[in-house]
Amino acid sequence: MEQVEGTEPKKKSGTVMLIAAIAILTVVGGAGGWVIGTLISPKIQAVEDQNKAAAAEKAAAAGGHGEAKKEEGLPHIATEANGIVQLEPITTNLAYPSENWIRLEVALMFNGAPDVKIAEDIHQDILAYLRTVSLQQIEGARGFQYLKDDIQERVDLRSEGRVSKVMFRTFVIE
């Protein structure tokens, strides 16, 4: 009986040793992460401070009275000055299956000055059309091309030739 009792404490001590080893490694790993974080954090903060200071100087030089411009970096292509109007995102469910949703973002390239009224009419027309489309009609590359062609045809009819191109920015089916 002494041997049986002697075997059990060894199994328990093995489990206890494993748990202790895992705990020690966890503490060492956490301490190492903390040390690395404290070494890197001041460098990141310094770079962010330099970027903020440079942006403030740039805004002050441009006469912005300390306020940064809303849009920094490269100018957007889709502007009314370029004859391009980006429509609001269109999100609707498909005709079949009705539990599938479609989200479409489109930009219109006008010949000449853009017309906001025509752009809004086109937005509503595309929305009404997408509600009649089934998932099977727009599956695959060929289906997407048919969808693009149909929308381009509707835009041509609605705008009477004032819109030269329909540009798809995003197309998501859920």
Contact 163, 154 (CB under 8 A): no
- The DSSP-derived string for 56-116 is HHHHHHTT-TTPPPSS-SSPPS--GGGTEEEPPPEEEE-SBSTT-EEEEEEEEEESSS--H
* Whole-model pTM over 0.75: no
Contact 146, 73 (CB under 8 A): no
Q: What is the pLDDT of residue 75?
A: 57
68 shares its domain with 100: no
pLDDT at 70 over 60: no
Q: Which of 31, 47, 73 is the last residue of a domain?
A: 73
Token pair 């009477």 in the structure block, residue = 160
**Residues 76-127 pLDDT 10s:** 555 666 788 889 999 999 998 889 999 999 999 998 888 889 999 999 999 9
Q: What is the mean pLDDT of residues 158-165?
A: 90
57 shares its domain with 117: no
Contact 119, 87 (CB under 8 A): yes
64 shares its domain with 49: yes
pLDDT at 4 over 70: no
Q: How many Å apart are CA 96 and CA 145, to the nearest integer?
A: 19
Q: What is the pLDDT of residue 142?
A: 94
Contact 76, 58 (CB under 8 A): no
Q: Which of 73, 103, 127 is the last residue of a domain?
A: 73
**Residues 13-57 pLDDT 10s:** 888 899 999 999 999 999 988 888 888 777 777 777 777 777 777
Q: Which of 50, 73, 96 is the last residue of a domain?
A: 73
Q: What is the pLDDT of residue 12?
A: 66
Token pair 């954090």 in the structure block, residue = 41
65 shares its domain with 50: yes
165 shares its domain with 135: yes
pLDDT at 66 over 70: no
84 shares its domain with 169: yes
Q: Which residues contact 18 (CB under 8 A, 6 or more apart)?
A: none
The count of structural domains within the chain is: 2
| % residues pLDDT > 70 (the chain) | 80
Q: Could you tell me the CATH number of the domain that includes residue 138?
A: 3.30.479.30
Q: Where is 164: in which H helix or E strand?
A: strand 163-173
68 shares its domain with 2: yes
107 shares its domain with 167: yes
127 shares its domain with 56: no
**Residues 116-153 pLDDT 10s:** 899 999 999 999 999 999 999 999 999 999 999 999 99
pLDDT at 65 over 60: no
**β-bridge pairing 163-173 and 90-93:** unpaired
Q: Which residues contact 115 (CB under 8 A, 6 or more apart)?
A: 162
Q: Which residue has the higher pLDDT, 145 or 1?
A: 145
Q: How many Å apart are CA 155 and CA 159, to the nearest integer?
A: 6
- Domain extent, residue 5, equals 1-73
